[in-house]
Amino acid sequence: MSSDYYSVLGVERSASTDEIKKAYRKKARKLHPDVNPSDDAAEQFKMLGRAYEVLSDPEKRRNYDTTGDENGRPAGFGGAGGGGFGGFSDIFETFFGGGSAGGPASRTRRGQDSLIRVRIDLQDAVFGTTKEIEVETAVTCSVCNGSCMRPGTTPTTCPDCHGQGQIQRPMRSILGTVIQTQTCSRCAGFGNIIEDPCQECDGQGRVRERKTLKVKIPAGVDKGNRIHLAGEGEAGLAGGPAGDLFIEVDIRQHPVFTRRGNDLHATVTIPMTSAALGTTVTLETFDGTEEIEVRPGTQSGEVITLRGKGVAHLRGMGRGDLKVHLKVETPTKLSDKQRELLRMLAEERGEKPGESSTEHRGVFSKLREAWREL
Binding-site positions for Zn(2+) read 141, 144, 158, 161, 184, 187, 198, 201
Cβ-contact 60, 83 below 8 angstroms: no
Cβ-contact 33, 42 below 8 angstroms: yes
- Residue 183's DSSP bridge partners are 166
Closest CA to 112 of 242, 16, 260: 242
Helix (H) or strand (E) holding 339: helix 336-348
Cα of 234 vs its chain's centroid, Å:
15
| Dihedrals phi, psi of 94, to nearest 5 degrees | -70, -45
Closest CA to 50 of 81, 75, 67: 75
Query: What is d(CA 94, CA 91) in angstroms, rounded to the nearest whole number?
Result: 5
Query: What is d(CA 308, CA 58) in angstroms, rounded to the nearest whole number?
Result: 81
Question: DSSP labels for 206-254?
Answer: EEEEEEEEEEEEPTT--TT-EEEETT-SPPPGGGPPP--EEEEEEEPPP
